[in-house]
Structure 1
Amino acid sequence: MNQIFRQVRFVAFFLLSMILGFYGCHTDDTESNFDLPLPEAEPLHLNHSKPSMPKTQVSGKKKYDGIVFHVPEGWEEVPLSPAQQGLISASFRIPKAGDQVKLTLSSVGGGIDANLQRWRGQFQLPPGETPTQETIRVDNTDVIWLDLRGTFESGIGLESATKSGMRMIGVAIPRSPRDFYLKLTGPRDQLMKVEKEFRKFVKSARFAL
């Protein structure tokens, strides 16, 4: 009888050990899974620097439509608007003269007389004031210098406007097959600051072969 009891107790102890061993192993596996460290992602190196924009400030010799000019220091060439592309060769700002001073360069057909008349039509001159026109010599070529002052109507287009107290110095250079034009506009007081420099810029023109 005692022998049977010992056998039953041994079997019970064996079964209990098996059960505890099974659950113990399962628990260890589960805990070990949670204890594993999560892999860290490599730091993402973002480049927050802005893309470098091309400098608009220009100086020195520049060629436009076959004419080489010496651009003064401090002048800024600005991108052409969609409305200007195909009509304007280059556009400048002259910050030291004023933020409203603009210069455009273009090659246009139709004849110089017709274009000069169109410029005159864009200005309403004060009573008693008349346009000033002269001929200057540029690279052995006679060039027309036209000075207009008054209320300026820039014309039809997205950038059209009418402003009083304005001035325009227009220069017409005879060329073939299309004549070349320089048009400097801005308030009278601002344009006065750059008039001598602009004349020097015009006279620096050299006609490339």
Structure 2
Amino acid sequence: MLRMPASRFGFVLTALLTFGFVGAGIPAAFSADAVADEKGTEITIASGAKMMAPATWKVVRPKISIIQNEFAAPGAEPEQTARVTMMAASGSVQANVDRWKGQFQLAAKDGFKEEQKTIEGHTLHLVDLQGTFNERMGGPFAGGRVVHRENYAMAGAILIDPNGGKFFIKMTGPVEAVKANRKAFGEMLDGLKK
């Protein structure tokens, strides 16, 4: 029987938990405020409200530390995956919507849509953008090079809780991948519970 030193066992266990290989193949959520199971991933936002991310979205390690939860939302084609990010937010709604619009060269027709609704005492500002996405490598504030991604879309939501706290949810990717996940994105938001 092969025995592993305790120090190495601790390292292996930490690696397995960190990289999401736990239980019966169910990925571990990388944030303490998310719990994954066969029904999806339950997300808890700062106000204590919860929502369920679809089971089809794969939990992935956030690319930057300010992101609390990140998912890969599959499109019809394997190469067409949308990136879904969730994080606490600051700044005014308008400043953030303007910043998101500034990341796109909007399509001439129906390139920008905006609406507002209330769910469980939370005000949701919803934004849909389509066109060429000017993705800044390293994050929007990093100052890195910009990659222009044609035929991209973003479905964004700014949630404002009853105490004024803000939470961002954004789905960005090829138009077809965002369209394939748009209904699930809306259902996740509509399912917000206190």
Displacement after TM superposition at 1:203 (Å): 1.1
Secondary structure, aligned partner of 1:206: coil
Identity of aligned residues (%): 22
Post-superposition Cα deviations, 1:36-67, rounded to whole Å, max 9, x if no partner, equal xxxxxxxx7478xx875233273153323333
What code does the residue aligned with 1:190 have? A
Residue 185 of structure 1, aligned match among 160, 163, 172: 172
Larger gyration radius, structure 1 or structure 2: 1
Gaps of 5+ in 1: 1-43
Asked if structure 1 preserves the Cα contact closer than 8 Å seen for 2:50 and 2:192, the reply is yes
What residue number does 2:7 align with? none
Residue 96 of structure 2, aligned match among 109, 115, 119: 115
Decide which structure has greater strand share: 2
Q: How many positions carry a matched residue from both structures?
A: 159
Task: Say which is worse superposed, 95-104 or 189-198, in terms of deviation.
Answer: 95-104
CA 163–130 in structure 1, closer or farther in 2 if over 3 Å, else same? closer
Q: Any residues of structure 2 matched to 1:6-155 within 5 Å, and which?
A: 45=2, 52=16, 53-54=21-22, 55-56=26-27, 58=36, 59-65=40-46, 66-81=48-63, 84-85=64-65, 87-95=66-74, 99-155=80-136
Decide which structure has greater helix share: 1
Secondary structure, aligned partner of 2:136: coil
Asked if structure 2 preserves the Cα contact closer than 8 Å seen for 1:109 and 1:179, the reply is yes
Displacement after TM superposition at 1:177 (Å): 5.3
What code does the residue aligned with 1:133 have? E
Asked if structure 2 preserves the Cα contact closer than 8 Å seen for 1:64 and 1:90, the reply is no
Displacement after TM superposition at 1:204 (Å): 1.2
Secondary structure, aligned partner of 1:127: coil
Asked if structure 1 preserves the Cα contact closer than 8 Å seen for 2:89 and 2:168, the reply is yes
What code does the residue aligned with 2:68 have? S
Q: Indicate the RMSD between aligned Cα atoms, in angstroms.
A: 2.6
What code does the residue aligned with 1:113 have? Q
Gaps of 5+ in 2: 5-11, 29-35
Task: Give the distance between the partners of 1:75 and 1:201, measured in 2 at CA.
Answer: 12
Asked if structure 1 preserves the Cα contact closer than 8 Å seen for 2:151 and 2:175, the reply is yes
What residue number does 2:154 align with? 168
